[in-house]
Amino acid sequence: MLLSLQGNFPPAILALADGTVFIGNSIGASSADAGTTVGEVVFNTAITGYQEILTDPSYCQQIVTLTYPHIGNYGVNTEDIEADKVHAAGLIIKDLPLLASNFRQTESLSQYLVRHKTVAIANIDTRKLTRLLRNKGAQNGAIVGLAAGETVTQARVDAALAAAKAAPSMKGLDLAQVVTTPAAYPWDQTEWKLGSGYGKQESPRFHVVAYDYGVKLNILRMLAERGCKLTVVPAKTPAAEVLAMNPDGVFLSNGPGDPEPCDYAITAVREIIDSGIPTFGICLGHQIMALASGAKTFKMQHSHHGANHPVKDLDNGRVSITSQNHGFAVELESLPANLRATHISLFDGTLQGLVRTDKPAFCFQGHPEASPGPHDIAYLFDRFTALMATAQEKK
């Protein structure tokens, strides 16, 4: 943001629970409407995909810091979304380009944030903030976006600090039931292609029931692209209802929060896996599958958020660059005999993939459906359809 043009954007305050304060400019909702937000402050290293990040339900009650300095330079559009609204609690960036250029653009990032009543701050030292989060770990924070004509006062700073310190810890929060769909719905939209947009699956081979713990739409598109007719169900749907649909496979989606309080999901997934139906889990779904199988999870000191995370496939040595978004992980030392590790993070050695040795079920911690990318680990969707094809042949 050019210094000479800061006057077009009113002030904003970012306060962290440890007492650190940043003063920048408000580029989203202001105090005139919904100008204060609180949440766990995390950083994401992706260079592109800010619209997908903002609409990812896995960021519910999290304030996202984007480490790439120029955010907003290609605007936003109506198609690059992972949900029908912004789920991130807030956005923190360094520089908002005043000119956005893209043939698909429908509005600017700032206009989008204001329309979705999302609080955001720009023109702060995101390198300093990222180092702080990297050294201390994710912590709670608050952003206060002031209205035009308002000024930063000590009283406002103190209020922001108090809000940051009062925000609840992510540990123990069941957010899957907050972001899930209220009712089941069908899905047949396939992946986006230049010149034609999204397609439609008109000759499906498989019927997949997808649990929505905060599902990203591109997951559903990639499953539909591979021949799946999908029925998306709420997070609390009992296993008996899913099994009564006689699906070829069950998918466990990504989602926000702590997996341990999701006892309803853990119970249902245990029954579904025990039934022998092919099952595939991503992110929160990976953690729930692990808990349903007898493993344990923990809150990470340094969470994973970005699009440049190397992950090693332990079965063939292949290294994939992956997209990640999680603050909890499965404890490697807690794996029971019927769970085998298949992938690990090359950043910190944490567990990234599991397979059941006694049932056709597997899961992955990262986001193999990443939109706009990377796509290195998308082969896991093909592994899932192969499991369903094998099961069909046995019938």
- Please tell me which residue in 40, 52, 82, 369 is annotated as part of the active site: 369
Residue 172 exposed, middle or buried by CB count within 10 Å (0-12, 13-18, 19+): exposed
Which two structure tokens, joined as six digits, stand for 165? 């310190």
Question: Are the C-beta atoms of 143 and 119 separated by less than 8 Å?
Answer: yes
- Side-by-side strand order, sheet with 361-364: 185-187, 228-234, 206-212, 249-252, 279-282, 361-364, 351-356, 339-345, 297-313, 319-330
The radius of gyration of the chain from alpha carbons, rounded to an integer in Å, stands at 21
Residue 367 annotated as catalytic: yes
Instruction: Return the ∠ at Cα 84 (arms to 79 and 89), rounded to 5°.
Output: 115
Phi, psi at residue 146, to the nearest 5°? -80, 155
Q: Which of 87, 283, 304, 305 is catalytic?
A: 283
Catalytic residue check, 283: yes
| CA atoms of 37 and 69, how far apart (whole Å) | 22
Q: Would you name the residues annotated as active-site residues?
A: 283, 367, 369
